[in-house]
Amino acid sequence: MVNKTKKNIVLGITGGIAAYKAIDLASTLTKLDYEVHVVLTAEAMKFVTPLTLEVITKNQVWTDQNSLEKSSIPHIKLADLADLVVVAPATANTIAKGANGLADNLLSSVLLAADCPKLYVPAMNSKMYQHDATQRNLRDLAVQGAVVLEPAEGMLACGISGKGRYPGNKTVLAQIESMLFGDQALEGFNVLVTAGGTREAIDPVRYIGNRSSGKMGAALCKEALRRGAHVTLILGSHELTELPEVNIIRVETAQEMYEQVMLHFDTQDIVIKAAAVADFKPESVKEQKIKKTEDTSGGKKTKTISLEGTVDILKEISLKKDKQIVVGFAAETENIATNAKKKLKEKNLDMIVANQVAGEESAFGSDDNTATLYWSNGKGRELEKMPKSELARVLVEEIIKLPKFVKLAR
């Protein structure tokens, strides 16, 4: 029976050793007054029985077999009624199906038909987890908008130690509740994001710029919007398409970016500086295009452009900062941790996101980012390579956990 006043969770259980842990999850969710609709894969039924889950959830438990016996179309019914689909534990097999849009059993069909939020809780042998194919599938799920919990490390059922353990129902439950109710945590908050690169004119046709694409900033805007914030984006050069609902202010130079940040700063609660701002600009901008033939010495054509420092936006903000949470980015090619921590301290930031911008792993222009977060209390968190959309979600979640945010939210 569908109870519309309660949140409906479709709990997909797949054929892994950790399937027995989903019994406890189903029990806890039912006690917390959620309507839990369990879907068991055929392989999961080798580990847990429909009867146990039916008794615990007081709801029909769905299997490939009984879904065929019913005259209704259960995969669409379940997909439509779900406020959230949770796959716990999620096998490598079902993850691959979800990532690639396969629909060859009831659970994968529900996953394809459901347009509500989806949570995957991977649990498997560490080699299966680390395999390129699984990692690619997990990234694809995140790009599709699903939330994927990171497995824990430790002794696995197969007897080896590594990453792949079911992370524990406390973690799973916290994630479920955050997906069902925590989405609007930024409602009523003003979030200012800067993104893209700046361009400093040399002459009317040339400029000094950088490779920033603005993708990280765009992902942050989308995540802040999704969480209910009012979002302003100060945007330099970029490769973005559209960002409806975001108040976009376009700028070109570091000076223009500075002026716009200062203009909007006082009304903001959270400022995330993801733009790549030039540190130097030409001392003077030539009025006419510089000719090829100028300044020839010793047969080799050389040209010297004198540079001067641009305004340090983060430093200016740190002097003005009051209630605002300020998060900076450190794009580094070497000594990433040292440079990022130095910037965090000098610019009086609440948090800094350090990332690599040299070589093949460069975050510039890529859809992925490998970042480490540092806080003003000295703590750090190293993150795996992940899509920028996923990193944006992690960052916003970390911002929401900051004591300063908790104070602002009161």
Q: Which residues bind ligand FMN (CB under 6 A)?
A: 14-18, 41, 43-44, 91-94, 123-124, 128
Under 8 Å between Cβ of 254 and 210 = no
Return the number of the residue (112 or 249) whose C-beta is nearest ligand FMN. Answer: 112
Q: How far is the CB of 385 from ligand FMN (least distance, A)?
A: 21
Q: How far is the CB of 125 from ligand FMN (least distance, A)?
A: 7
Measured CA to CA, the distance from residue 169 to residue 48 in angstroms comes to 17
Return the number of the residue (122 or 214) whose C-beta is nearest ligand FMN. Answer: 122
Measured CA to CA, the distance from residue 139 to residue 134 in angstroms comes to 9
**Shortest Cβ contact with ligand FMN: which residue?**
16
Return the number of the residue (44 or 271) whose C-beta is nearest ligand FMN. Answer: 44
Considering 55, 133, 155, 158, which one is annotated as catalytic?
158
Helices (H), 125-214: 126-130, 132-143, 169-181
Residue type, 82: A
DSSP state of 145: T
Q: Is 116 a catalytic residue?
A: no
Q: Cβ–Cβ contacts within 10 Å for residue 138, how many?
A: 26
| CA distances in angstroms from 145 to 54, 113, 119, 150, 222, listed in the order given | 30, 14, 10, 15, 11
Q: Which residue has the tokens 């390129």?
A: 132
Under 8 Å between Cβ of 164 and 150 = no
Q: Please list, in sequence order, all residues whose beta carbon lies within 8 angstroms of the beta carbon of residue 338, skipping any fewer than 6 positions away.
A: none
Q: How far is the CB of 153 from ligand FMN (least distance, A)?
A: 15
Measured CA to CA, the distance from residue 257 to residue 247 in angstroms comes to 15
Measured CA to CA, the distance from residue 204 to residue 382 in angstroms comes to 43
Return the number of the residue (132 or 242) whose C-beta is nearest ligand FMN. Answer: 132
Measured CA to CA, the distance from residue 222 to residue 212 in angstroms comes to 18
Q: How far is the CB of 38 from ligand FMN (least distance, A)?
A: 13
Q: How far is the CB of 351 from ligand FMN (least distance, A)?
A: 34
Return the number of the residue (104 or 294) whose C-beta is nearest ligand FMN. Answer: 104
Helix/strand/coil for 353: strand
C-alpha closest to that of 150 among 132, 136, 137, 138: 138
Measured CA to CA, the distance from residue 379 to residue 90 in angstroms comes to 31
Q: How far is the CB of 133 from ligand FMN (least distance, A)?
A: 12
Return the number of the residue (137 or 324) whose C-beta is nearest ligand FMN. Answer: 137
Return the number of the residue (128 or 278) whose C-beta is nearest ligand FMN. Answer: 128
Strand extents, DSSP E, 25-113: 35-40, 84-90
Tell me the sheet residues that pair with 327.
Answer: 272, 351
Q: How far is the CB of 11 from ligand FMN (least distance, A)?
A: 13
Q: Which residues are identified as catalytic?
A: 158
